[in-house]
Structure 1
């Protein structure tokens, strides 16, 4: 059970995370994108703007170093910026509490230096949680954001299968996890908005969905 708790953030085994708006009476969802900013982010932003929708982008510090202007544009368009560590290392689950604090703090610093905002939202790489990560979060005071619908867009290559997976699992109040790292995801996002409009779903930001603050005052 402990091992399963490490890899399944939705269990809230080591720490509390937000995964959805429970018992939602409205057909509202939130879209989230991990691992940017990248050269694909502007296309994602264009699709969101075309559909009058806002999303949350969980950004990696080293990617912000590469694409600061894309981060500024993302923020200026009204999207929420969240923290996704500085290096997004595959070793993140093995880091000490202090190392994780450094990963989170350095990312908050570069975000603040770029857009003058300090995120309160954090999504751990790969959704992995453990006692060290829980201890780090208790120090940084971030709210942890999980998901209720994982698109698997970094694994599924077939766009139709990817769209079918997402559209079949959409439910009121859900948080959708995608990545702004490929044209494949952008193509599926365009299809997804057609589906959402047909089914009368509204895309809202996480602060509206979860009733939480997203930046430090």
Structure 2
């Protein structure tokens, strides 16, 4: 992912959109001249498709996060998973005009709920099959903590990133893949984003999109 070992790379990633918050995030990214990766589900409201189109046109990456993110549907069997995955692949191709090559499991690939109900090899086996199709699967190594609830203070989210961007030895992670969310309820993530970008720029990170 990083050909220059002295360069610090960061990937801003947003899950579970698109929503009105996606539009606000796109404004902030544009103002700061950086790009992000959006792991999207199918829009709850059809007009929100335009946020996916805009994100793609402005140079951000669009990733598959399954069509509906419903654990009880997508994780019942491999067949159910791939049906949902392919449905979303089709939606992304129709919306952006390009084949989607990146994916993130709802809950991540080391999800304990799935591991407990389907066995730890369930997502591993799916990952192997996705890789064979040319799909790259991404988790994250920096958690903003915005999934823990709604209306978590923006300052807390910034502090979470500042803390989690370093490893146990206090070294900055490189590359850093930051988990955030742009669904309807995550208004404080939008509020925190300018501060998170400023923090990362101050630490000398270069912003990239996942491929």
Both structures adopt the same fold (TM-score exceeding 0.5): yes
What SS is found at the alignment partner of 2:16? strand
Given the alignment of the two structures, is residue 103 of structure 1 paired with residue 84 of structure 2, yes or no? yes
Deviates more, 1:60-69 or 1:172-181: 60-69
Give the alignment partner of residue 50 of structure 1, picking from 31, 37, 46.
31
CA distance in 2, matches of 1:137, 1:66: 32
Contact in 1 for aligned 2:16/2:181 (Cα 8 Å): yes
1:153 maps to 2:114: no
Contact 2:18 2:43 in 1 (8 A): no
- Give the count of matched residue pairs: 188
Quick check: 60-69 or 50-59, which moved more? 60-69
- For 1:92 and 1:126, locate their aligned partners in 2 and report how far apart those are by CA, in whole Å: 14
1:35–1:84 CA contact under 8 A, matched in 2 = yes
RMSD, aligned α-carbons? 2.3
TM value normalised by structure 1: 0.78
| Residue 193 (structure 1) aligned to one of 193, 197, 204 | 197
Deviation at 1:66, TM superposition (A): 5.2
- C-alpha spacing 1:102/1:169, structure 2 compared with 1 (3 Å): same
Tell me how far apart the structure 2 counterparts of residues 24 and 89 of structure 1 sit (CA, whole Å): 39
Cα drift, residue 82 of structure 1: 0.3
Secondary structure class of the residue paired with 1:61: coil
2:122 and 2:43 map into 1 onto residues whose CA distance is: 22
Q: Secondary structure at the match of 1:32?
A: strand
In structure 2, the partner of 1:173 is 175
For structure 1, the residue ranges without an aligned partner over 5 or more in a row are: 1-19, 207-213
Tell me how far 1:28 sits from its aligned partner: 1.9
The residue number in structure 1 matching 2:117 is none
Partner SS for 1:36: coil
Residue in 2 aligned with 1:132? 122
8 Å contact from structure 1 (residues 24, 173) kept in 2: no
* 2:144 corresponds to 1:163: no
Rounded Cα–Cα distance in structure 1 between residues aligned with 2:62 and 2:99: 9
**Structure-1 separation of matches of 2:81 and 2:128:** 11
Q: Deviations over 1:56-113 (max 9, x none)?
A: 1000024484521111011000100000001101325742000000111000001111
